[in-house]
Structure 1
Amino acid sequence: MPDLPLHVLVLEDHAFQRSVAVNMLRTLGCREVFEASDGDQALAMLQTVGTVDVALCDLQMEGMDGLEFLQRVGATGQVKSVIISSSLSADLRRAVHQMVALLGLELLGDVGKPLHIQMLADLLDKFANRPAMPQPPDAAITLADEGAVRQALAEQQLQAWYQPKFNLHSGEVCGVEVLCRWLHPTQGVISPALFMPVLERCGLLDELLFLQLEQALTVQRRARERGFPLNVAFNLQAVQLASGELASTLRSLLARHRTCGASVTFELTESGLLEAPATSLESLVRLRMMGCRLSIDDFGAGFSSLQRLCQLPFNEIKLDADFIRNLEHEPRCRAAISSTLALGETLGMSVVIEGIETDAQRRELLALGCTLGQGYWYARPMPADDLLNWLQQRSDQQSSDE
């Protein structure tokens, strides 16, 4: 009999099923197995025996149920990990999975009912042999100094980086998303998380956008001269739509770089657009009148309003990467992707899938009918010269393969 140095709590109100679970765990060699018929009894037992490694938890029971028990131990840290064992429907159990994650508990798995000993053994083995979790740093993230950020902006240390967008069928590069990196003279590349909130707080987002437009349109022209037409996409905050300078400045930049509005896309997150005022709508319409594309970014991550989607003049949807991360394990994510593709087709909007990290994801997305995507499986963000060299190398490779 294997020896698993684990302390396990079984929370189950049905006496026979609780007995089966306890015997299975002892057969599997768990060092100590405790049992409780409801949440109150389980909490009292934890006060006596201390922290347990695993709680095998039913959800529906008289007295304190499994949901309230999980809420309680999520706050106390008395349970290291959870295995759900419930006859509730799959959609309800999936919601509980999200709840467990939000409570900061580790979900080992969902064994349903009736229990199967091999499934239980695999999950216990997963816990016993998991790598040690890295400890989070004690210090919170410290935002960059406002003066240093202003200086970086003035000295153009804030540089546009580029992540390619692909046609999933052909592998053809159809555009790039423009991102921002701080190339600090002594500290190297600084994450946007450390300086973007400072720019927003200081009202400098427009200044950054116009700097990025200048940089990216220069790169776009260089790429076009080498035979690589690229659409360049910029992230735009909803608050920036109130600026009267946005459309006029963009028109001047496009004229100076001898390019058209159709070669530029603006990506806006849906959360800031639910109550777009008239001035914002005017800016969106002016951008579309110039030929620019408008993309609603991170679609599905907030409380999407289909009414607003129909009212606002977008012609592209970027589906949030979370749907792709959970594609393999969550049937509803597959349904959400299919529905978004159908919605895009009905509304005459293209759909871009974000966060593609594996070839398996790419193949499954192709099977669902996806056409456009981006993610680390294709390419990571890169500076301007690296992008141009990368495009040339891809072109040379394709020529040699023909």
Structure 2
Amino acid sequence: MMRTLDLRNRPVTSLQWDSLVPRAGVDVDAALEVARGLIDDVRTRGELALLEQAERLDGVRPAAVRIHGDEISSAVRALPAAVREALEGAIERVTKVSHAQVPSGSVTEVSPGARIIQRWQPVRRVGLYVPGGKAVYPSSVVMNVVPAQVAGVSSIAIASPPQREFGGGVHPTILGAAGLLGIDEVYAMGGAGAVGGFAYGIPSLSLEPVDVVTGPGNIYVAAAKRLVRGVVGIDSEAGPTEILVIADGGADASLVAADLVSQAEHDELAAAVLVTTDAGFADAVTSEVARLASSTKHSDRVATSLSGEQSAIVLVDDLAEAAAFSNAYGPEHLELQVSNTGALLDLIDNAGAIFLGANSPVSLGDYLAGSNHVLPTGGQSRFSSGLGAYTFLRPQQIIEYDRAALREVADRIVALSSAEDLPAHGDAVSERFARD
């Protein structure tokens, strides 16, 4: 089911690793024109465009794009007790971790009377996207909303695709999770149109433009976020999920296989990769994957994912090579199931989230670890991070000099402004002392 890449006894340079890592055939560029058309339609025709897009793309025309508050309250009351308890537990844990992500302000006195104040300011308003295609993601409501609230964002809106099963409304479990968190601004809108609505606003819905759009989605959501970046901030262009497991012969093959299958059930384009130094262990995982994949609920989806070009079992000579491979891949989720996780962890640079040992599966992070599951995919962990309170914060520098401190540096400011042929810069300082 899963193909094998044997990289043993094959010297690989750092420039070659990128060409060897398996990737899904996902090209965000190819979706840009479609996404641009959907966004432009929403900018031009607003609510009517969203309704028509829902009918065409989601197979249902919502009775209303904006969800009434009473419907949210009813959804909270209707949550099954076990689901509500789990969501409340996730909220508690993610809140605790998110608080640790808020930097403290500081004051630096560079000389007597000269202070630079560093503070972190939340954005005013955010639009949080919760997918609703092949699965239901109340956990994504928690992962998006909690860090924004902890950061101090005062205005939060959620969008999720309309559901045929619920008459064009947002899935009630999504609404229940939103209600638990006190969110009363929810829209039944999906895909690129939803991102466009957040970025530019829709007056007829009283939907004000947001400052930041976050949340995972399909290729058209990723393309839309790329298109509106610069109009609003975004977290990352999160695409199909990825798991990369580095394991040695001492790992449990059935547990590794279960973890690979767990992520493959998300989507046919989901990527599942095992990197190991032990060929016998690789064979054992292959057998376990086949057994588990055939019996799981979404077996067809899992089989497509695991047999795709984005999934593989990779054989390497040693764990240093395994780390080099992983760093080139930059996985969304990285599991380290080796005898010495600390030594291997020291070699890892690029990953959205890292799970250490047999008792820290990715599923834990998806729900109740306390970490955030909105993470960069497609190698973007090389330059971006998972969602956190810091996503919604902007560092600001506040400069406060008294007269004596400014006088101390006045001549040097004049010298530099003259060197840059910007004499008025120096004059703005000199003028303050002209009447002395």
Structure possessing the higher radius of gyration over alpha carbons: 1
The structure that is strand-richer by fraction is 1
- Could you state the TM-score of these two structures normalised by the residue count of structure 1? 0.25
Q: Which gives a bigger RCO, structure 1 or 2 (Cα 8 Å, sep 6+)?
A: 2
- Could you state the TM-score of these two structures normalised by the residue count of structure 2? 0.23
